[in-house]
Amino acid sequence: MDEPTLSPQEQRLAEVYDAFHAARASSSLSARLYALAMGEDYPPEVNASSSCDWQLLATAVRRLRLHPGQHLVDLGCGTGGEGLWLARALAARLTGIDVSLVAVHLAAARAGQFVPKGRADFRVGTLASTGLPDGSADGVICVDAYGFAPNKRAAIDEVHRILAPGARAVITFSGQAPLSSRPWTYQGLELEAEEHRPGVGQMWLRLYELRAEHEAELRREFGDDHAQDMLDEAQRRAPTVSSRHFSVVTLRRTTD
C-alpha cells in the first residue's frame, strides 16, 4: 500500500490539521467542550472532534454489516476514535487514512487501547487518494470529513474504487436538503439509506457557544492563534447551522 503524494493544496491542509491535532493533544479542554455540547450522547472513549455520538456508532454497526476479520477503512480518521471503536465492536481489521501526519501518529498510539497489535494501521492519505488496493475494503466510514474534501466527486470515486462489490460506506452528510431528495445517478454506488440526525445542528450551535464562553481558557490552553481560529470558525458557521440538514448515508457498491 503506497502513501499518496500530497498536492500543494493538500500539504497546506495537512499543516492546518497537524497544528489542530497537536494543540488538541496537549489539553483536555476541547474534549470537555464536546462532551458538554453532546451531553449523554457523547462517547468518551472515542474522544472525537466531530459529531460522532452513540447513535452514529449504532448506525454504523447496523449498516456496515461486517463479519469478524473483515477490513474496515476510516477515511479522514483523525486520531482514530470512531474507527478503533468500531473495529473492536465488529472484530474487524482497520485502516485509517488522514491527511495529517500528527493525527496518524496519535491514532496509532491509541490503537492498543482498543484492538490487539497488528489489527489497526494508520497512514497519510486523502479522501480522493488513499493508496489502498482496488476492492480491498469490506466497509468504509467517513465522519464529518467528506464536506471538507476539495474534490467531492473524486472522494466518491475513491470510495467506489476501494469498496469490494456489495460492501457499504457510511458517511455523515450535511447540506441544504437531504441527499435522498436529489437524483442519485452515480454509477456503481447505490444510496441504500439516509437517516436524519436531528440533534446534530443543536450540538454544533452549543459547541460554538461554549467556545465563546471559554474564550479565556481556550487562549490559555491553545495559544491566541489557534484559539482565534476556533472562535472564527464558530462565528462563520453558526449562522448557517439551522438551515442545514444533517444525516448519515449508506452507500452500497453494486455487484456488477
Task: Kindly report, residue by residue over 88-136, the tens digit of the pLDDT.
Answer: 999 999 999 999 999 999 999 999 999 999 999 999 999 999 999 999 9
Low-confidence ranges of the chain (pLDDT < 50): none
Task: Give me the amino acid identity at 211.
Answer: R
**DSSP structure string for 11-79:** HHHHHHHHHHHHHHHT-SHHHHHHHHHHGGG--TTT--SSS--HHHHHHHHHHH-PPTT-EEEEET-TT
Q: What is the pLDDT of residue 126?
A: 94
Helix, coil or strand: residue 85: helix
In this prediction, residue 3 carries a pLDDT of 63
172 forms beta bridges with 248
**Predicted pLDDT at 161:** 96
Rounded to the nearest 5 degrees, what angle is found at the Cα of 215, between the Cα atoms of 211 and 220?
Answer: 120
Over the Cα atoms of the chain, what is R_g? 18
pLDDT score recorded for residue 141: 98
